[in-house]
Chain A
Amino acid sequence: MSEHANNHDDHGHHHKETFVTKYIFSQDHKMISKQYLITGLFMGIIGIAMSLLFRLQLAWPDHQFTIYEIFLGKWGENGVMDPNVYLSLVTIHGTIMVFFVLTAGLSGTFSNLLIPLQIGARDMASGFLNMISYWLFFLSSVIMVLSLFVEAGPAAAGWTIYPPLSALPQAMPGSGAGMTLWLVSMAIFIASSLLGSLNYIVTVLNLRTKGMSMTRLPLTIWCFFLTAIIGVVSFPVLLSAALMLIMDRSFGTSFFLSDIYIAGEVLHNQGGSPVLFEHLFWFLGHPEVYIVILPAMGLVSEIMATNARKPIFGYRAMIASVLAIAFLSTIVWGHHMFITGMNPFLGSVFTFTTLLIAIPSAVKAFNWITTLWKGNLKMNPAMLFSIGFVSTFISGGLTGIILGDSALDINVHDTMFVVAHFHLVMGISALYGFFAGVYHWFPIMFEGRLLNKKLGYIHFWITAIGAYGVFFPMHFIGMAGLPRRYYTNTNFPYFDDLLEVNVVISVFAFITAAGQLFFLYNFIHSMFYGKMASKNPWDSTTLEWTAEVKHIHGNWDGPIPEVHRWSYDYSKLNKDNSDYVLPGQDYVPQHIPLQDNEDELMH
Chain B
Amino acid sequence: MTAFLIILVIILFGVAIWQMNKVFQLSKSPKSENSEIASDNDNNTQGYLMLAFVFFIYGNLAYCFWEWGDVMLPVSASEHGIQIDQLMLTTMILIFIVGIFTQWLLHYFAFVYRGSKEKKALFYAENHRLEFIWTIIPVIVLAALIIYGLFTWSDIMYVDEDEDPMVVELYAYQFDWRARYAGNDNTLGEANVRLIEGVNQLGVDISDPNAQDDKVVNELHLPLGRKVLFKMRSQDVLHSAYMPHFRAQMNCVPGMITQFAFTPSMTTNDMRMNDEVIEKVEYINQIRTEKNIELLAKGEEVLEMYEFDYLLLCNKICGSNHFNMQMKIVVDTEEDYNTWLAEQATIAETIKNK
Q: Which residues of A contact B (CB under 8 A)?
A: 82-84, 87, 157-158, 162-165, 168, 171-172, 257-262, 266, 271-275, 308-317, 339-341, 344, 347-348, 351-352, 355-356, 358-359, 362-363, 365-370, 372-380, 383-384, 387, 390-391, 394-395, 398-399, 401-402, 405-408, 410-411, 413-415, 450-454, 457-458, 461-462, 464-465, 468-469, 472-473, 475-477, 479-481, 483, 485-489, 491-494, 496-501, 503-504, 507-508, 511, 530-531, 533, 537-538, 568, 570-573, 586, 601
Does B157 contact A344, Cβ atoms closer than 8 Å?
yes
> Any chain A CB within 8 A of the CB of B84?
yes
* A291-B134 Cα distance, complex, nearest whole Å: 25
Does A358 contact B109, Cβ atoms closer than 8 Å?
no
**B 192-231 binary contact with A (CB < 8 Å = 1; else 0):** 1110100000010000000000000000000000000000
* A100-B317 Cα distance, complex, nearest whole Å: 23
The smallest beta-carbon distance between B277 and chain A, in angstroms, is 10
With a 10 A CB-CB cut-off, give which of B84, B124, B245 has the most chain A CB atoms: B124
**B 1-24 binary contact with A (CB < 8 Å = 1; else 0):** 011001100100100010001000
Does B255 contact A257, Cβ atoms closer than 8 Å?
yes
A158-B317, A259-B192, A377-B113 known; A407 vs B38 contact (CB < 8 Å)? no
- Chain B residues lying within 8 Å of A586, measured Cβ to Cβ, are 120-121
Does B174 contact A486, Cβ atoms closer than 8 Å?
no
Does B287 contact A496, Cβ atoms closer than 8 Å?
yes
| Residue of A with least CB distance to B41 | A379
Please pick, from B36, B43, B81, B260, the residue contacting A531 in the complex, using a CB distance under 8 A: B36
> Any chain A CB within 8 A of the CB of B178?
no
- Chain B residues lying within 8 Å of A476, measured Cβ to Cβ, are 64, 68-69, 71-72
* A508-B9 Cα distance, complex, nearest whole Å: 11
- Chain A residues lying within 8 Å of B254, measured Cβ to Cβ, are 164, 257-260, 274
> Any chain A CB within 8 A of the CB of B149?
yes
- Chain A residues lying within 8 Å of B314, measured Cβ to Cβ, are 483
Does B145 contact A374, Cβ atoms closer than 8 Å?
no
11 pairs, A vs B, C-beta closer than 8 Å: A83-B322, A171-B237, A311-B124, A340-B258, A380-B42, A387-B107, A401-B91, A481-B244, A485-B322, A487-B323, A571-B120
The smallest beta-carbon distance between B246 and chain A, in angstroms, is 9
Does B237 contact A408, Cβ atoms closer than 8 Å?
no
| Residue of A with least CB distance to B318 | A165
Does A359 contact B135, Cβ atoms closer than 8 Å?
yes
A399-B95, A586-B120 known; A480 vs B13 contact (CB < 8 Å)? no
Does A457 contact B138, Cβ atoms closer than 8 Å?
no
Does A87 contact B320, Cβ atoms closer than 8 Å?
yes
| Residue of A with least CB distance to B36 | A450
A171-B237, A414-B316, A472-B61 known; A407 vs B152 contact (CB < 8 Å)? yes
Q: Can you name 16 extra interface pairs (CB under 8 A) apart from A359-B135, A363-B135, A408-B149?
A: A83-B320, A162-B238, A275-B256, A314-B125, A339-B249, A407-B84, A410-B249, A453-B36, A453-B42, A465-B56, A481-B244, A496-B284, A503-B2, A511-B7, A530-B36, A573-B123
- Chain A residues lying within 8 Å of B263, measured Cβ to Cβ, are none
Does A491 contact B126, Cβ atoms closer than 8 Å?
no
* A244-B131 Cα distance, complex, nearest whole Å: 46
Does A355 contact B146, Cβ atoms closer than 8 Å?
yes
The smallest beta-carbon distance between A505 and chain B, in angstroms, is 10
A376-B120, A377-B110, A504-B3 known; A394 vs B99 contact (CB < 8 Å)? yes
The smallest beta-carbon distance between A151 and chain B, in angstroms, is 16
* A411-B127 Cα distance, complex, nearest whole Å: 41
* A374-B256 Cα distance, complex, nearest whole Å: 59
With a 10 A CB-CB cut-off, give which of B10, B135, B149, B324 has the most chain A CB atoms: B149
Does B113 contact A374, Cβ atoms closer than 8 Å?
yes
Does B91 contact A408, Cβ atoms closer than 8 Å?
yes
Does B324 contact A494, Cβ atoms closer than 8 Å?
no
A341-B253, A384-B46 known; A487 vs B322 contact (CB < 8 Å)? yes
**B 93-105 binary contact with A (CB < 8 Å = 1; else 0):** 0110011001101
Does B36 contact A479, Cβ atoms closer than 8 Å?
no
Does A369 contact B106, Cβ atoms closer than 8 Å?
yes
> Any chain A CB within 8 A of the CB of B167?
no
> Any chain A CB within 8 A of the CB of B315?
yes
| Residue of A with least CB distance to B287 | A496
- Chain A residues lying within 8 Å of B61, measured Cβ to Cβ, are 472
Give the residues from 164 to 197 in chain B that come closer than 8 angstroms, CB to CB, to chain A.
173-174, 192-194, 196
* A572-B125 Cα distance, complex, nearest whole Å: 10
The smallest beta-carbon distance between B192 and chain A, in angstroms, is 6
> Any chain A CB within 8 A of the CB of B88?
yes
- Chain B residues lying within 8 Å of A82, measured Cβ to Cβ, are 320
* A309-B306 Cα distance, complex, nearest whole Å: 61
* A163-B255 Cα distance, complex, nearest whole Å: 12
Does B174 contact A341, Cβ atoms closer than 8 Å?
no
- Chain B residues lying within 8 Å of A370, measured Cβ to Cβ, are 124, 130
- Chain B residues lying within 8 Å of A266, measured Cβ to Cβ, are 193-194, 196
* A271-B255 Cα distance, complex, nearest whole Å: 7
Please pick, from B123, B240, B256, the residue contacting A414 in the complex, using a CB distance under 8 A: B240
> Any chain A CB within 8 A of the CB of B82?
no
| Residue of A with least CB distance to B314 | A483
> Any chain A CB within 8 A of the CB of B35?
yes
* A313-B113 Cα distance, complex, nearest whole Å: 16
User: What 3 A-B pairs come out closest when comparing CB atoms?
Assistant: A258-B255, A481-B244, A379-B46
A375-B115, A408-B84 known; A398 vs B68 contact (CB < 8 Å)? no
- Chain A residues lying within 8 Å of B324, measured Cβ to Cβ, are 491
- Chain A residues lying within 8 Å of B232, measured Cβ to Cβ, are 341
* A313-B131 Cα distance, complex, nearest whole Å: 10
Does A377 contact B47, Cβ atoms closer than 8 Å?
yes
Does A309 contact B115, Cβ atoms closer than 8 Å?
yes
Please pick, from B46, B56, B84, the residue contacting A411 in the complex, using a CB distance under 8 A: B84
A378-B38, A379-B43 known; A341 vs B247 contact (CB < 8 Å)? no
Does B121 contact A465, Cβ atoms closer than 8 Å?
no
> Any chain A CB within 8 A of the CB of B350?
no
A266-B193, A352-B146, A479-B73 known; A413 vs B249 contact (CB < 8 Å)? yes
* A365-B68 Cα distance, complex, nearest whole Å: 30
> Any chain A CB within 8 A of the CB of B60?
yes
Does B38 contact A380, Cβ atoms closer than 8 Å?
yes
A87-B317, A413-B315 known; A165 vs B284 contact (CB < 8 Å)? no
Does A348 contact B150, Cβ atoms closer than 8 Å?
yes
- Chain B residues lying within 8 Å of A469, measured Cβ to Cβ, are 6, 60
- Chain B residues lying within 8 Å of A461, measured Cβ to Cβ, are 13, 17, 49
* A467-B196 Cα distance, complex, nearest whole Å: 49
Please pick, from A308, A344, A477, the residue contacting B154 in the complex, using a CB distance under 8 A: A344
- Chain B residues lying within 8 Å of A273, measured Cβ to Cβ, are 253, 255-256
* A261-B191 Cα distance, complex, nearest whole Å: 13
| Residue of A with least CB distance to B44 | A379
Does A507 contact B253, Cβ atoms closer than 8 Å?
no
- Chain A residues lying within 8 Å of B43, measured Cβ to Cβ, are 377-379
> Any chain A CB within 8 A of the CB of B116?
yes
Please pick, from A351, A378, A499, the residue contacting B153 in the complex, using a CB distance under 8 A: A351
* A463-B57 Cα distance, complex, nearest whole Å: 13
| Residue of B with least CB distance to A405 | B149
| Residue of B with least CB distance to A170 | B236
Does B6 contact A358, Cβ atoms closer than 8 Å?
no
- Chain A residues lying within 8 Å of B126, measured Cβ to Cβ, are 313-317
- Chain A residues lying within 8 Å of B71, measured Cβ to Cβ, are 476-477, 480, 497-498, 501
- Chain B residues lying within 8 Å of A473, measured Cβ to Cβ, are 64, 68
* A352-B147 Cα distance, complex, nearest whole Å: 9
* A157-B237 Cα distance, complex, nearest whole Å: 11
Does A489 contact B38, Cβ atoms closer than 8 Å?
no
- Chain A residues lying within 8 Å of B309, measured Cβ to Cβ, are 494
- Chain A residues lying within 8 Å of B266, measured Cβ to Cβ, are none
Give the residues from 24 to 79 in chain B that come closer than 8 angstroms, CB to CB, to chain A.
35-38, 42-43, 45-47, 49-50, 53, 56-57, 60-61, 64, 68-73
- Chain B residues lying within 8 Å of A531, measured Cβ to Cβ, are 35-36
With a 10 A CB-CB cut-off, give which of A308, A355, A377, A487 has the most chain B CB atoms: A377
- Chain A residues lying within 8 Å of B106, measured Cβ to Cβ, are 368-369, 372, 387, 390-391, 394
